[in-house]
Amino acid sequence: MNSTSFLRTTVASIALCALAPAVSSCTSSAAPASEANSSESIAPLFDRTISAVKDNLHKRMEVGVPVPQPVDAGGGYTHEQHKQNAKTIYEAGMLFELTGDERYRDFAASVLLDYAAMYPALGLHPQQKEQTPGRLFWQSLNEAMWLVYAVQGYDAIRADLDPDTGSRIETGVLRPMAKFLSEGQPATFNKIHNHGTWAVAAVGLTGYALDEDAWVKQALLGLDESGDAGFLRQLDELFSPDGYYAEGPYYQRFALMPFILFAQAVEENEPERQIFDYRDGILQKAVYATIQQSYAGRFFPINDAIREKGLNTAELRYALAILYDLNGDPTLLDVVKLQGNVVPTPEGRKLARDLAAGMAAPFEFESLLLRDGPAGDQGALAVLRSSSAKDAAAVVFKPTSQGLGHGHFDRLGILYYDNGHEVVADYGAARFLNVEPKNGGHYLPENTSWAKQSIAHNVLVVDQQSQFGADWKVAQEFAPQVLAFQSDGEIQLTAATLDTAYDGVSLQRLVAMVPRPSGGEYVIDVMRARSDEAHSYDLPVHFKGQLIETGFELDHATTQLTPFGTDNGYQHLWQRATSQPLETVSNLSWLIDDKFYTLTFFANAPVTAYLTQLGANDPNDNLRREQALVLRLENENADFVSVYERHGRYDNDEEVTVFSGSSVASISQTAAGDVAVYTIIAETGERTQVLWADNPAPDASHSITLDGQPISWTGPVTVIQQDN
Amino acid sequence: MNSTSFLRTTVASIALCALAPAVSSCTSSAAPASEANSSESIAPLFDRTISAVKDNLHKRMEVGVPVPQPVDAGGGYTHEQHKQNAKTIYEAGMLFELTGDERYRDFAASVLLDYAAMYPALGLHPQQKEQTPGRLFWQSLNEAMWLVYAVQGYDAIRADLDPDTGSRIETGVLRPMAKFLSEGQPATFNKIHNHGTWAVAAVGLTGYALDEDAWVKQALLGLDESGDAGFLRQLDELFSPDGYYAEGPYYQRFALMPFILFAQAVEENEPERQIFDYRDGILQKAVYATIQQSYAGRFFPINDAIREKGLNTAELRYALAILYDLNGDPTLLDVVKLQGNVVPTPEGRKLARDLAAGMAAPFEFESLLLRDGPAGDQGALAVLRSSSAKDAAAVVFKPTSQGLGHGHFDRLGILYYDNGHEVVADYGAARFLNVEPKNGGHYLPENTSWAKQSIAHNVLVVDQQSQFGADWKVAQEFAPQVLAFQSDGEIQLTAATLDTAYDGVSLQRLVAMVPRPSGGEYVIDVMRARSDEAHSYDLPVHFKGQLIETGFELDHATTQLTPFGTDNGYQHLWQRATSQPLETVSNLSWLIDDKFYTLTFFANAPVTAYLTQLGANDPNDNLRREQALVLRLENENADFVSVYERHGRYDNDEEVTVFSGSSVASISQTAAGDVAVYTIIAETGERTQVLWADNPAPDASHSITLDGQPISWTGPVTVIQQDN
């Protein structure tokens, strides 16, 4: 077969050519595959992708591909081999489609035939995982992922196979696997959860590829085709109206892939469903929301996140290619630049081609509020950015819902990025993904004992306990209330409150980004607790970099280190240094790369400052050795005002160092009636005031007189600034 | 004045146009300055440089430049201001030359006139530093640096100044400063040391610029013009025949700038001296040697090195521009790519132009032996590289001389790089350069108590003492003996011995890079001590990254940390974990970025393994929190065999993890007569053997029979490999 007849064949058999990503001629707007053979590359990034795919595949074609009896659990040999084989089938299919070279077709078919010979005799996997066992894999989730890849590879070669081979493959593995993943595990298939999405995508894609309309219907509407479950219901419930996914961006990335791949097949086969416009374009929103939840190419590592994951993951590459093919948004090409890689499909080729043609427009990373919950009423994730530039400051504020079992106890937590770096950070998950010696690559015990605990985050910890007693099922019942979000003026701010994390304590936080007349900005954080009883309040600041200076005395533990506490994560912290109670505004400065940062802080009661270092009670070296500042006070109410700023320069190329230290002259707290007034005055004279009314009603109007000036606003909080 | 008349003027006054870097028409091969005004850029990198220089300079021109009375020591306000003013004069001169815009000329002149008004009345600096006080600065070194910049700026405007202005500048500051730096401080001027080089360069450049032949002669030949001191003598003594500088690359970079700038002026004004060919081209060798002493753009951080320093420092940019102008070596353009920046001179422009024209050829980072000492007989620095690729493995082996007061007690130390990262590293200096809150930006106390000590390096430590009792003046008397260096075969190796670091102990080390049939390589380290008495031997491995697995049990200090020792740097280490005595081959694996590394080790006596972490007895948070493995044994002789390998993959984009662990099946030690035989057998069967004869004579022939095979070689060590 040559490339021409391949194209003719597929054009003739267009009805069979089911899965858009797999067959280029199905995709009207994608470039024809034959272009790839022209001598002058118009899509060099795609060519590099294909070249790498070919190199890897050719090695496997030479030595052959083992299809072992399933034995091992996740991370083990048979598990990894079957995972890789699915990608092999997929890649061989893609290359066949792209080049028309029959060796790829025959290779894909031969691997599929091996599976067809083995699969029918397989019972449940010997290492079956709890309620969701697979047959090839210990859990059915992996089986669904296998089928998503394999059926796309098969679809690419199907029209060109002799009928007997196709029939053996379908009968031996594709059909029974699709049956197993649907009728064979109804609870998972009908679940409104990303495991359910992988299952319906696998079954739905197979339905389109094998012309099984009933399977497609089940995938879309649930096993009983009632619409109570299935893909559409998942689209209704798994995303917030703003495209936020309750488990956070790390899991959102993972879930996105089956959503997007199946949606593309729906779009190609049943365009009348307008699936990408479904629920006001929820899938498109979800992709953009995922991109926005990143800094310097990496996702915000909230909840159980592997910190290395970011925009260049395979899932995002598929999403971008498919979305760009759909909407032609040139800013997506800018994100591809960050990825530096495309998928080996016609849509990937189109991305690379348009990128090479200079069609990219800047992707605007922006300040935004992503409401949480299916109805958008379960809190939100707020992002403030000083600009869209790569080195801009960004603050992430997390008054979200719990995010199920992968959620951390970090409501109202903050992250602070600047100059391309994490400045105040989240630990992420305690896990080395798939690294066998590290607990088989699963979550480590320290994920529960440290990473999920409140003290591991930049949140106020009450009485050294974690929020909601560290019980996610309890936590799942409650969401914070967003008090404010404002991103359209000079001053950006967001605020929220949560009364349910601790009995009898209301947590309240406002974060503002306030530009300074002299350039740069203050990031102002007002963290409040309101209670009728005295509590011990800890405000941890997990800062990165090298400590340079503290504006107060610290007594260092120089010859012996002991843990900072005994439980709730505190047992993992070494107590490195302790201050006397601080009764005035104090500060701490540190260095990251070529910039200095200073935190200037104030509280309504004497604060004891601690420096801690992670690593106590870590007998298996599972934790990173990270540092934190912890500010502690004892009182009924707590009012912590923290001002973060970047300053100076540490330029070793030019040998120029400028260290300025804190530019904050004073921070104070007063009251004007039922309004708390937090006043920050810079050495250069400008004055920033955070006004916080006791009345939390969003529509309540407030008027006070401040320094002789009348001030009016609506809602519980506002921030004002005046130059001096 | 317009650009044309400027060029005419300087052409007419070619005899006055003394300093090649300052006046483009002096430099026959550099592109004419007027090109910079053409609308289509042929040297975009240069244009960006000039644009940045202009932006900064214009700001200073707007607000004016203070010329304060000298008050502060290094790092203080007046110190930094005078440093910056010298660069301002220089940059204004360069821009005048480039653009002909008289405002730049007038600005440079006005700043110089301010100095001319102040300088004559200045006595010694109020904060004068020990034996080498300056007048503008606390030490004369800074004064020499000031003059090097300022006289170049002046030279660029001199021909275009009215005679009165020129006369006032010369009489007020340039002449008295040159006198002060020569006759005013004869000891420093005549010193064979980089401070002397800055002084002679300053005086010599001024001599050329002001037509003072006597000053030039003094600069070249010493104050008495005898040749016992001065530039030529410095060229004879400060570099080894291979261009190595005894203090290491960090200080070599610093010293290079006056050497190169003055040499260029000599070349332009007295080409008959053939200064760049002097001593077999020692200056050119020195530049190449400096570049070779880097990995991933950063210098090897041996001795008192600021780790951030690398190829992009200003000094290297001058060196590259001047050297390229001289020799046109296209591989230097490749280094400019790593720098991403050029100097604002015609030579910088030429670099940028040729780089843009695609003339760059790959710079070959290679395995090499840089002999140390003026005669090349004071040990050496050896570098082994697996290839010239950016992600290649590199091993640095340091049997050098002490390197004076900035040297560390780390003879026979090793560093290991791979995949663009440090794998086994050197702490560098304990210093935050010019960061005022960190001890005024000077060396920290921990530089002596930790960074210089032997335990801070990857060297064998005897009885928990540092080499030479940590006395650099004693250490300076002794150099290691290089036993072998071989880089031209499949197997690369180097070895050396040092008998003087500890009484009655001979230290011997061999490092080899052995390619594996399956790809990659083993880095094999055989560290030996020979003594008649029992000692405690510690072999530290300062590895970077996240510990993944140890092939032996470790008892972790989970609830209390105490220091690993009391002195010689040990007091700064927390003892994190301790093993039982290990009697078999053991291993330790860790993760850096996307690769795993395993160290498999063997010793001739039971080894106790410790994990340590830096940070004990650090009351000012001056130390980084770094980890190490320390292997300890007690015996008369010590034989440590360490095999390093990289393996696997930790790819979070594709979610593929492969962890293989140690591929070493066995390590053993036997004897064949007076030859020690260290045998490393891989799981794949190939066998590597390190043969080490007792006789250290380099020309001794050895023949033994090993596994029935006759083996012959010359010199004390060899490494052989056979596949199985």
Band of the pLDDT at B449, cuts 50, 70, 90?
very high
- Closest among A305, A245, A241, A250 to A278, alpha carbons compared: A241
pLDDT of residue A20: 42
Dihedral pair phi/psi, residue A175, rounded to 5°: -65, -50
pLDDT surpasses 70 at B8: no
> What's the rounded Cα separation, in Å, for the pair A366 and A346?
30
CA distance B435 to chain A (A): 6
pLDDT of residue B25: 39
> What's the rounded Cα separation, in Å, for the pair B293 and B244?
9
Whether A617 sits inside 8 A of B559 (CB atoms) is yes
3-state secondary structure of B470: helix
Question: Exposed, middle or buried, B410 (CB in 10 Å: 0-12/13-18/19+)?
Answer: buried
Residues of B forming the active site: 251, 406
Summarised one tens digit per residue, pLDDT across range A337-370 is: 988 899 999 999 999 999 999 999 999 999 999 9
CA distance B533 to chain A (A): 32
- Closest among A709, A719, A722 to A682, alpha carbons compared: A722
Edge to edge, what strands does the sheet with A380-385 contain? A368-371, A380-385, A394-398, A413-418, A421-424
Whether B624 sits inside 8 A of A546 (CB atoms) is yes
Summarised one tens digit per residue, pLDDT across range A239-256 is: 999 999 999 999 999 999
Whether A659 sits inside 8 A of B435 (CB atoms) is yes
CA distance B626 to chain A (A): 9
Distance of CA A95 to the CA centre of its chain: 31
Summarised one tens digit per residue, pLDDT across range A432-486 is: 998 989 998 889 999 999 999 999 999 999 999 999 999 999 999 999 999 999 9
Lookup result for tokens 């992420």? A428
Listed by number, the residues of chain B in 549-568 with a beta carbon closer than 8 Å to a beta carbon of chain A are: 549, 556, 558-563
Chain B residues closer than 8 Å to A256 by CB: none
CA distance B319 to chain A (A): 14
Any residues with CB less than 8 A from the CB of B232 and at least 6 apart, and which?
A: B220, B221, B278
- Closest among B293, B345, B277 to B314, alpha carbons compared: B345
3-state secondary structure of A217: helix
pLDDT of residue A130: 73
> What's the rounded Cα separation, in Å, for the pair A625 and A540?
16
Of the candidates A313, A559, A591, which has its C-beta nearest B563's C-beta? A559
Question: Exposed, middle or buried, A574 (CB in 10 Å: 0-12/13-18/19+)?
Answer: buried
Cα torsion B235, B239, B243, B247: sign: negative
Q: B420 at the A interface (CB within 8 A)?
A: no
| Partners of residue A600 on adjacent β-strands | A587, A643
Distance of CA B101 to the CA centre of its chain: 39
Classify B368-722 by CATH class: mainly beta
Of the candidates B547, B562, B621, which has its C-beta nearest A559's C-beta? B562
pLDDT of residue A19: 60
> What's the rounded Cα separation, in Å, for the pair B465 and B613?
19
B540's tokens: 């530290």
Mutate to test the interface with A, among B91, B659, B660, B662 (most CBs of A within 10 A): B659
Residue B380 near residue B485, CB atoms below 8 Å? yes
Whether B561 sits inside 8 A of A558 (CB atoms) is no
Mutate to test the interface with A, among B431, B624, B657, B658 (most CBs of A within 10 A): B657
Residues of A forming the active site: 251, 406
Residue B68 near residue B435, CB atoms below 8 Å? no
Dihedral pair phi/psi, residue A389, rounded to 5°: -65, 155
- The phi-psi region of residue B222 (left if phi > 0; otherwise alpha if psi is between -120 and 50; otherwise beta) is left
Percentage above 90 pLDDT, chain B: 88
Mutate to test the interface with B, among A49, A595, A625 (most CBs of B within 10 A): A625
Whether A313 sits inside 8 A of B438 (CB atoms) is no
DSSP result, B109-127: HHHHHHHHHHGGG--S-TT
Whether B437 sits inside 8 A of A653 (CB atoms) is no
B572's tokens: 């700064």
Band of the pLDDT at B37, cuts 50, 70, 90?
very low
pLDDT of residue A7: 19
Residue of A nearest to B441 (CA): A657
Whether A617 sits inside 8 A of B574 (CB atoms) is no
pLDDT surpasses 80 at A591: yes
pLDDT of residue A567: 98
Chain B residues closer than 8 Å to A560 by CB: 560-562
3-state secondary structure of B170: helix
For residue A365, give the DSSP letter. -
Whether B556 sits inside 8 A of A436 (CB atoms) is no
Summarised one tens digit per residue, pLDDT across range B543-580 is: 999 999 999 999 999 999 999 999 999 999 999 999 99
Q: Percent helix, strand, coil in chain A (nearest 5)?
A: 35, 25, 40
Residue A202 near residue A189, CB atoms below 8 Å? no
pLDDT surpasses 80 at A14: no
Residue of A nearest to B623 (CA): A546
ipTM of the complex: 0.91
Listed by number, the residues of chain A in 162-181 with a beta carbon closer than 8 Å to a beta carbon of chain B are: none
CA distance B290 to chain A (A): 15
Whether B546 sits inside 8 A of A589 (CB atoms) is no
| Partners of residue A721 on adjacent β-strands | A688
Q: What is the mean pLDDT of residues B452-459?
A: 98
Summarised one tens digit per residue, pLDDT across range B193-211 is: 999 999 999 999 999 999 9
pLDDT of residue B48: 94
pLDDT of residue A39: 53
Q: Where are the domains of chain B?
A: 3-356, 368-722
Dihedral pair phi/psi, residue B593, rounded to 5°: 55, -115
CA distance A658 to chain B (A): 7
pLDDT of residue A422: 98
Of the candidates A559, A618, A650, which has its C-beta nearest B556's C-beta? A618
> What's the rounded Cα separation, in Å, for the pair B239 and B255?
11
B571's tokens: 């007091």
Residue A399 near residue A498, CB atoms below 8 Å? yes
> What's the rounded Cα separation, in Å, for the pair A290 and A311?
9
Whether B548 sits inside 8 A of A591 (CB atoms) is no
**Strand (E) or helix (H) holding A141:** helix A140-158
pLDDT of residue B210: 97
For residue B607, give the DSSP letter. B
Q: A499 at the B interface (CB within 8 A)?
A: no
Residue of A nearest to B624 (CA): A546
Of the candidates B75, B433, B611, which has its C-beta nearest A652's C-beta? B433
- Closest among A711, A661, A713 to A682, alpha carbons compared: A661
> What's the rounded Cα separation, in Å, for the pair A258 and A316?
11
> What's the rounded Cα separation, in Å, for the pair B226 and B223?
8
Pairing of strands A368-371, A380-385: antiparallel
Lookup result for tokens 């086969």? A269
Residue A342 near residue A348, CB atoms below 8 Å? yes
Whether B655 sits inside 8 A of A314 (CB atoms) is yes
Listed by number, the residues of chain B in 582-641 with a beta carbon closer than 8 Å to a beta carbon of chain A are: 589, 591, 611, 613, 615-621, 624-625, 627
Chain B residues closer than 8 Å to A312 by CB: 653
Length of chain A as a residue count: 724
Whether B433 sits inside 8 A of A547 (CB atoms) is no
The mean predicted confidence, pLDDT, of chain A is 93
H helices of B210-313, in order, are: 213-221, 231-237, 249-269, 278-292
pLDDT of residue B134: 96
Summarised one tens digit per residue, pLDDT across range A261-319 is: 999 999 999 999 999 999 999 999 999 999 999 999 999 999 999 999 999 999 999 99
pLDDT of residue A131: 79
A–B: how many Cβ contacts below 8 A?
A: 125
Band of the pLDDT at B654, cuts 50, 70, 90?
confident
Chain A residues closer than 8 Å to B658 by CB: 80
Whether A435 sits inside 8 A of B591 (CB atoms) is yes
Q: What is the mean pLDDT of residues A17-40?
A: 44
pLDDT surpasses 60 at B359: yes
pLDDT surpasses 50 at A540: yes
Cα torsion B272, B275, B276, B279: sign: positive
For residue B367, give the DSSP letter. -
pLDDT surpasses 70 at A40: no
Per-residue CA distances from B539 to A112, A242, A656, B456 (Å): 53, 57, 37, 11
Q: B338 at the A interface (CB within 8 A)?
A: no
Residue B399 near residue B482, CB atoms below 8 Å? yes
pLDDT of residue A724: 60
Whether B560 sits inside 8 A of A560 (CB atoms) is yes
Residue B646 near residue B520, CB atoms below 8 Å? yes
> What's the rounded Cα separation, in Å, for the pair A600 and A606?
15
Whether A661 sits inside 8 A of B437 (CB atoms) is yes
- Closest among A150, A125, A167 to A202, alpha carbons compared: A150
- Domain B3-356 belongs in CATH node 1.50.10.100: yes
Chain A residues closer than 8 Å to B624 by CB: 546
Any residues with CB less than 8 A from the CB of A91 and at least 6 apart, and which?
A: A53, A56, A57, A153, A344
User: In the 3-class helix/strand/coil scheme, how is A428-492 assigned residue by residue?
Assistant: CCCECCCCCCCHHHCECHHHHHHHCCHHHCCCCEECCECHHHHCHHHHCCCCCEEEEEECCCCCE
Summarised one tens digit per residue, pLDDT across range B622-653 is: 999 999 999 999 999 999 999 999 999 998 88
R_g (Cα) of chain A, nearest Å: 28
Range from A410-414, A661-665, B30-34 carrying the lowest mean pLDDT: B30-34
> What's the rounded Cα separation, in Å, for the pair A205 and A19?
7
A544's tokens: 């990165």
pLDDT surpasses 70 at B326: yes
